[in-house]
């Protein structure tokens, strides 16, 4: 496979960011390599995809400001620590793409909802949509 499509890129970023959230001391490239090797939908040989490394690195670089945006838009009494980690990572990825790249917000939200269906539970879609609706302007 020569390159990842946009969905595969986001999926790999989600899984890599989740792994790094679970183990912040892990080497980014090692985590990305494990994600690439463990995903049956992706047949990858050779060097790690630079666009995936770049996306994960960029989300991590903006994580503090993105987390602040998320926290400011949660219901009273809720904090990031109370949220499902995969949902937090999905929010980080969607907000990064919508605010710091040329990806339209609607596409970022749609992709976050699709990934939530694959990696989270039924309630997550509504929650993610609600938070992203508050954070992002369409």
3-state helix, strand, coil in the chain (%, to 5): 70, 0, 30
DSSP tag of 44: -
Give pLDDT tens digits for 34-45: 998 876 666 666
What is the domain range of residue 33?
6-135
Whether residue 1 has pLDDT greater than 50 = no
Burial of 49 per CB tally in 10 Å (0-12, 13-18, 19+):
buried
Q: Is residue 125 part of a domain?
A: yes
pLDDT of residue 102: 94
Q: Is residue 30 part of a domain?
A: yes
Q: How confident is the model at residue 62 (pLDDT cuts 50, 70, 90)?
A: very high
Q: Is residue 1 part of a domain?
A: no
Give pLDDT tens digits for 66-92: 999 999 999 888 999 999 999 999 999
Q: Is residue 69 part of a domain?
A: yes
Distance CA 5, CA 132 (A): 23
Which residues, at least 6 apart from 42, have a Cβ–Cβ distance to it below 8 Å? 1, 4, 8, 12, 36
Distance CA 37, CA 15 (A): 12
Percent of the chain with pLDDT over 70: 92
Mean pLDDT, the chain, integer: 91
Q: Is residue 34 part of a domain?
A: yes
Q: Domain holding 24: CATH number?
A: 1.10.940.10
pLDDT of residue 88: 97
Global pTM value: 0.91
Q: Is residue 45 part of a domain?
A: yes
Burial of 22 per CB tally in 10 Å (0-12, 13-18, 19+):
exposed
Count of the separate structural domains present in the chain: 1
DSSP tag of 82: G
């Amino acid at each position: 496979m020569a390159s990842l499509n946009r969905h595969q890129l986001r999926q790999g970023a989600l899984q890599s960011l989740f792994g790094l959230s679970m183990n912040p001391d892990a080497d980014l490239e090692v985590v990305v390599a494990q994600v690439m090797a463990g995903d049956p939908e992706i047949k990858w040989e050779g060097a790690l995809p630079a666009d995936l490394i770049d996306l994960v690195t960029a989300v991590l670089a903006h994580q503090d400001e993105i987390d602040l945006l998320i926290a400011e838009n949660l219901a009273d009494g809720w904090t990031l620590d109370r949220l499902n980690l995969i949902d937090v990572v999905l929010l980080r990825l969607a907000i990064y793409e919508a605010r710091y790249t040329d990806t339209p917000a609607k596409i970022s939200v749609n992709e976050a909802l699709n990934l939530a269906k694959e990696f989270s539970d039924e309630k997550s879609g509504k929650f993610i949509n609600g938070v992203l609706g508050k954070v992002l302007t369409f």
